Structure formats: structure tokens, C-alpha cells
């Protein structure tokens, strides 16, 4: 998810704490249904500056239960529509959260996490705020799809970002990625699955193969257009489960 959805779509086309407690904290059970057959799953979407001012009541009337709003990118960019999108979705009754688009070649994970938290990437256990999310995927601005980082340095960058978000907010970030990028750029590292929820990007009839370390996605982004503004997502659980996930319980 880059500055606007157009950049993001171009990049995606290149690839198109105990066990029971962890299951609740990370979102639910294995999601294997196609979107058309997953009517019971809470619908949501994600937006950026590309959507500008969103009609949140209309989105709610079309079934939106949650939304992720882009807050920041790298350590310099802020979504100019963030307040309308983040606060407006909350006023309409949606459960909302903020995400950060990572550019690991620009600054450290710690630096970008601090910038994110200062500019909208917070969290509180009110049942209405999703945990912060890290969007880490193909570089939309260069042919260096892994941002020039080795696999071990990419893992270290993600770990540093996560540790700083945890320190600042009390919650580990959700990791948004796709399986092909994860394999190419982290070596299919499996160490984040135990305590990070997965937000999987895969446009198709099923989530398909998952990155190593995860047995299910908490969120599934299954299309880049549909009835809701921005990208289309499903939460892997019930509406009650979504609220519990937001609370961190």
C-alpha cells in the first residue's frame, strides 16, 4: 500500500501468549473460503490518500465493519486525508486502525516506527481501535524489490519496527505482506508468526500458501476494488472476535 492505490497496484502486479491465547490474539481459525462464500466474515477495507474524503456512512451501509487507514510512509510522508478517514470511520461506527507503508531503504525500522506512532499509529484497548499495522511489500519506486537489503537485514528491520511499536503502544503490529515477497525478501522467515497477526494480500478465490510461521491469516485482502472504497478485506472470525482482537484479549 503505497502513496496512492495506483502505485500499490503496480507493485502488486509484480507478484500478484500460549496456543489458545495466541489463537484469540491473532484472530481466529483457518480461513479457506472464497470471498463469495464467506458471508459470515466481517467485511472491511483499507484506504489511503487515493480515496481522499470517504463517505463513511455509505461504506457502513454497504457492510463495512472495519477499516485500516494509511497514516505514514517512510519517515517523512503523512496521509493528508488521515484525520477525515481515521476519525470519520470511527464516528460512523467502524472499528479502525492505522497502517504504515515501509521503505526500509530510507531509514531504520525504529525511526519509521517512531514516526508512525507520532503521526497516527497509536493503539488503545477500547474495542474500537485495531492494532497498528506494518505494510511491507515490493518496492513501488525501484526495481530493487527488497529495497537493497539482504534477507537477514530485512528481518532485522521488521523486528526493530515491531519492537518499537510494542514499546510505544503496548501491542505488536499486524504484518501486511504477500507470500511471494516474504519468501524473496526475508527468506521465508518463520519467527514472526507466533506473536504477530498476518494481514495477507492475495487477490483470488482463496488465501493460498501462507508465509512461513503462520497457519492462517487474521485479515485477508482479496481484491483491490469492490463495493467498499479502496481494497477489499475480510476478518478471519466473527464480529465479536473482531472486537476482541481490537481490545487485545
Could you tell me if 168 and 117 are in contact, meaning their C-beta atoms sit under 8 angstroms apart? yes
Could you tell me if 165 and 113 are in contact, meaning their C-beta atoms sit under 8 angstroms apart? yes
DSSP class of residue 223?
Answer: E
Residues classed as catalytic: 46, 135, 137
Full DSSP string of 64-129:
EEEEEEEEEETTTEE-TTHHHHHHHHHHTT-EEEEEEE--TTTS-HHHHHHHHHHTT----SSSSB
Q: Quick one: CA dihedral 155, 141, 101, 233, positive or negative?
A: negative
Cross-strand pairs, 69: 47, 98
Residue 121 and residue 104: Cα distance in Å, rounded? 17
Q: How many CB atoms lie within 10 A of CB 131?
A: 25
State the alpha helices, DSSP H only, in the chain: 5-12, 19-26, 56-61, 82-91, 109-118, 151-169, 179-186, 239-247
Amino acid at each position: 500500500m503505497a502513496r496512492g492505490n495506483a502505485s500499490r497496484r503496480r507493485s502488486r502486479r509484480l507478484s500478484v501468549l500460549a496456543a489458545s491465547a495466541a489463537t484469540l490474539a491473532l484472530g481466529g481459525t483457518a480461513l479457506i473460503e472464497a470471498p463469495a462464500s464467506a458471508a459470515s466474515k466481517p467485511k472491511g477495507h483499507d484506504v489511503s490518500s487515493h480515496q481522499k474524503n470517504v463517505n463513511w456512512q455509505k461504506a457502513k451501509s454497504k457492510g463495512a465493519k472495519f477499516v485500516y487507514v494509511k497514516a505514514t510512509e517512510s519517515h517523512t510522508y503523512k496521509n493528508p486525508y488521515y484525520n477525515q478517514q481515521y476519525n470519520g470511520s470511527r464516528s460512523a461506527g467502524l472499528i479502525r486502525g492505522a497502517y504504515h507503508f515501509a521503505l526500509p531503504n530510507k531509514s531504520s525500522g525504529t525511526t519509521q516506527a517512531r514516526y508512525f506512532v507520532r503521526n497516527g499509529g497509536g493503539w488503545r484497548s477500547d474495542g474500537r481501535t485495531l492494532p497498528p499495522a506494518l505494510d511491507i511489500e515490493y518496492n513501488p519506486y525501484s526495481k530493487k524489490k527488497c529495497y537493497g537489503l539482504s534477507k537477514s537485514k530485512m528481518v532485522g528491520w521488521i523486528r526493530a519496527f515491531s519492537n518499537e511499536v510494542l514499546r510505544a503502544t503496548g501491542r505488536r503490529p499486524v504484518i501486511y505482506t504477500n507470500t511471494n515477497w516474504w519468501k524473496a525478501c526475508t527468506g521465508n522467515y518463520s519467527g514472526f508468526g507466533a506473536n504477530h497477526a498476518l494481514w495477507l494480500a492475495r487477490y483470488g478465490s482463496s488465501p493460498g500458501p501462507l508465509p512461513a510461521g503462520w497457519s492462517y491469516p487474521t485479515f485477508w485482502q482479496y481484491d483491490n476494488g469492490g463495493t467498499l472504497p479502496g481494497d477489499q478485506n475480510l476478518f478471519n472470525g466473527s464480529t465479536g472476535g473482531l472486537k476482541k482482537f481490537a481490545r487485545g484479549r
